[in-house]
Amino acid sequence: MYRVKVRDPGLAGAARALVAPRYREVRAVEDVSFVVERGEIVAFLGPNGAGKTTTLKMLTGLIYPSEGQAQVAGFTPWEGGSPFKQRISLVLGNKQQLLWDLPAEETFQLNQAIYAVPEALYRERRDELVELLELEDVIDKPVRQVSLGERMKCELAASLLHAPEILFLDEPTLGLDVTAQDAVRRFLCTYRERHGATILLTSHYMADVTALASRVLIIHRGRLLYDGALQSLVARMTQAKRIELVLGNGVTRERLAEFGDVREFRFPNATLEVPRDEATAAAARLLSSLEIVDLSIQDPAIEDVIRRVFAEAS
């Protein structure tokens, strides 16, 4: 919970705020409880201002909560001090730790000293990270001269040189193009497989979540709405499946409506929604009764599911 200063618009409002400031108490996070096992990749999902970044910052000890408890790697984060911080790493997609005017290698060396990584271990880890992230041609250029995607890769490398047990990622693919996003995701999967690190991340990109996380925590208005596997959420939230079709000649919308709810019809493409447990039978009937060029059964788009979760919570 924190206080924010509120004021009316205009000069009069500004003057009133000077003489008699008004504050409003905001509950950023409330009643959020969960346990993350070693080696899990867990994603926090939620709209802007939901409380997911606040939760992440509490777990890294940046913010002192007004109430409640947390244990991370055996420490209370905001009281853990250096021994706790030695075991974690925080990567912020919108704030970088790299020394802007110097090559990334200089930040690596600085972090080696800060985290007291022995020279041989530093070289081994640095070489591994440079190879995994394909940074050979990047780390000797000033950070200000490398692309956003390359910078994020350097940021990840700098954050992992001390081999943290737990990696906290806040919007790690923010602003990156699809190729760079994919490279970051592939790296995180490989790194976790090799080193068994626990990863907690927030992201607005569903592709990050589906590619990385085995489990999602959905937070809305500071409260935990869901904790579990993404596919279980989809199954729970949706009573229907989508059948994507490419139609042959002569198939009309009316004809298709005999098999389910026609959600889209742009010949030759069409989308049909059918009850979840009847999807297979409906597909078989479609193939035997109509001229169908292509057919696929899918869950509704994850974005739609999440949107429904938030809509129901509101």
Partner 1 sequence: MRIWVARYWALIRSAWLVDLQYRAAIAIWMLWNVTEPAIALGIWWSIAGQGTVQGFARADFARYFFGVTLINQLTLAWDAWYIDRWIRHGEMNYRLARPIGPVHEAIADNIAYKARTASIILLLWIAVAALWPAVRLPFDPARWALALLATVLAAGIRFFNGYTTGLLAFWTTRATAIMELQFGVALFLSGRIAPLSLLPAPIAAVARALWFPYVLSFPVEVLTGTARSPAQYLHGFGGQLVWLGAWAVACLVVWRRGVRQYGAVGG
Q: C-alpha 305: how far from its chain's center?
A: 16
110 binds partner 1, rule: CB under 8 A: yes
Residue 55 is a binding residue for partner 1 (CB under 8 A) = no
Q: In degrees rounded to 5, what are phi and psi of residue 244?
A: -90, 130
Is 69 among the residues that bind partner 1 (CB under 8 A)?
no
In one-letter notation, the amino acid at residue 164 is: P
Q: Which is nearer to partner 1, 199 or 256 (CB)?
A: 199
* 99 within 8 A of 151, measured Cβ to Cβ: no
State in angstroms the smallest separation of the CB of 27 from partner 1: 14
Nearer to partner 1, 66 or 289 (CB): 66
In DSSP notation, 59-92 reads: HTTSS--SS----BTTB-GGG-HHHHHTTEEEEE
Least distance between partner 1 and beta carbon 228 (Å): 25
101 binds partner 1 (CB under 8 A): yes
Residue 141 contacts partner 1 per CB under 8 A: no
Q: Is 256 in the site for partner 1 (CB under 8 A)?
A: no
For residue 27, what are the contacts with CB-CB under 8 A and spacing of at least 6? 1, 222
The verdict on 74 binding partner 1 (CB under 8 A) reads no
In the set 53, 173, 198, 203, which binds partner 1 (CB under 8 A)? 53
Provide, rounded to whole angstroms, the least separation between the CB of residue 221 and partner 1: 18
DSSP state of 258: T
64 contacts partner 1 (rule: CB under 8 A):
yes
Q: Which stretch binds partner 1 (CB under 8 A): 51-59, 181-189, 218-226, 284-292?
A: 51-59
107 vs 125: CA distance, rounded Å: 14
112 lies in the site for partner 1, by CB under 8 A: yes
DSSP sequence for 173-207:
TTT--HHHHHHHHHHHHHHHHHH--EEEEE-S-HH
Distance CA 273, CA 24 (A): 46
Q: Which of the ranges 89-97, 128-136, 252-260, 280-288 carries the binding residues for partner 1, by CB under 8 A?
A: 89-97
* Three-class secondary structure of residue 157 per DSSP: helix
3-state secondary structure of 21: coil
Q: By CB under 8 A, is residue 208 in contact with partner 1?
A: no
Asked whether position 173 contacts partner 1 by CB under 8 A, the answer is no
Tokens at 307, concatenated: 């949107």
> Does 92 participate in binding partner 1 (rule CB under 8 A)?
yes
Does position 82 interact with partner 1 (CB under 8 A)? The reply is: yes
109 binds partner 1 (CB under 8 A): yes
C-alpha to C-alpha distance for 201 and 216, rounded to whole angstroms? 10
Closer CB to partner 1, residue 222 or residue 260? 222
Number of residues that bind partner 1 (CB under 8 A): 36
Pairing state between β 88-92 and 2-6? unpaired
Q: Which residues bind partner 1 (CB under 8 A)?
A: 2, 53-54, 57, 60-64, 81-83, 85-86, 88-90, 92-97, 99, 101-102, 106, 109-110, 112-116, 170-171
